[in-house]
Structure 1
Amino acid sequence: MKIGYIGLGKMGLPMATNMRAAGHELIVHNRSQPKVEAFVADGGVAANSPAEVAAQADVICVNVPTPEISLEILLGTDGAVENARDGQLWIDFGTNGPDTARTCADAGSSKGVGYLDAPVSGGPGGAEAGTLAVFVGGSESSFAQGKELLDIIGGKIEHFGPAGTGCIAKLTNQMIIASIRAANAEAFVLAVKNGLNPQQLYETLMGAFAANRCMEVDLPNLVLPRDYSARFAVDLLLKDLGLALEVGRQSGVPLIATAQADQLYQEIRSKGWGDLDAAATFKRLEEIVGVEVTVPSSE
Structure 2
Amino acid sequence: MRIGFIGLGTMGLPMVRHLVDAGYETYVVSRSRGPIETAVAYGAVEKESPRDLMEAVDMVMTCLPTPSSIKDVYDGEDGLIAGASRGKIIIDHSTVDPATNEWAYKASAQKGTAFVDAPISGGPMGAEAGTLTIMCGCDEEVFPAIQSVLRAFGDYIIRVGEVGSGTTVKLLNNMLIGVHQSALAECYVMAEKAGVDPAIAYDVIKRSAGFSKSMDWAVDAILDRNFDARFSINLLDKDIKLALGLADELNMPLELVQLGASKVAHAKEKYGHQDVSAIIRPLEEATNTIVKRRTKENH
The structural deviation recorded for 1:214 is: 1.2
Q: Give the corresponding residue for 1:245.
A: 244
* Paired residues for 1:136-215 under 5 Å: 136-215=136-215
Q: Give the corresponding residue for 1:11.
A: 11
User: What's the TM-score, normalizing by structure 2?
Assistant: 0.97
1:285 and 1:4 map into 2 onto residues whose CA distance is: 44
* Paired residues for 1:57-72 under 5 Å: 57-72=57-72
**C-alpha offsets along residues 57-113 of structure 1, whole Å, 9 cap, x if unaligned?**
100000111111112111234101111110010000000100000000000001000
The structural deviation recorded for 1:159 is: 0.8
The gaps in structure 2 that reach 5 residues or longer are none
Q: How many residues align?
A: 297
2:113 and 2:26 map into 1 onto residues whose CA distance is: 19
Q: Give the corresponding residue for 1:264.
A: 263
Identity of aligned residues (%): 34
1:262 and 1:178 map into 2 onto residues whose CA distance is: 6
2:232 and 2:266 map into 1 onto residues whose CA distance is: 14
1:42 and 1:217 map into 2 onto residues whose CA distance is: 28
Q: Give the corresponding residue for 1:295.
A: 293
2:34 and 2:279 map into 1 onto residues whose CA distance is: 34
**C-alpha offsets along residues 134-180 of structure 1, whole Å, 9 cap, x if unaligned?**
11101012212211112222111111111111100100100111101
Instruction: Report if aligned partners of 1:75, 1:104 keep a CA contact under 8 Å in 2.
Output: no
Moved over 6 A (4+): none
Q: Give the corresponding residue for 2:120.
A: 120
The structural deviation recorded for 1:296 is: 3.2
1:190 and 1:42 map into 2 onto residues whose CA distance is: 47
Instruction: Report if aligned partners of 2:17, 2:42 keep a CA contact under 8 Å in 1.
Output: no
Residue identity in the other structure for 1:5: F
SS of 2:226's equivalent?
coil
1:146 and 1:257 map into 2 onto residues whose CA distance is: 36
What CA RMSD, in Å, does the superposition of the two structures yield over aligned residues?
Answer: 1.1
Instruction: Report if aligned partners of 2:182, 2:264 keep a CA contact under 8 Å in 1.
Output: no
The structural deviation recorded for 1:197 is: 0.7
User: What's the TM-score, normalizing by structure 1?
Assistant: 0.97
2:110 and 2:140 map into 1 onto residues whose CA distance is: 17
SS of 2:267's equivalent?
helix
1:106 and 1:295 map into 2 onto residues whose CA distance is: 52
**C-alpha offsets along residues 23-76 of structure 1, whole Å, 9 cap, x if unaligned?**
000010112122112221331210121011011010000011111111211123
Q: Give the corresponding residue for 1:130.
A: 130
SS of 1:152's equivalent?
coil
SS of 2:202's equivalent?
helix
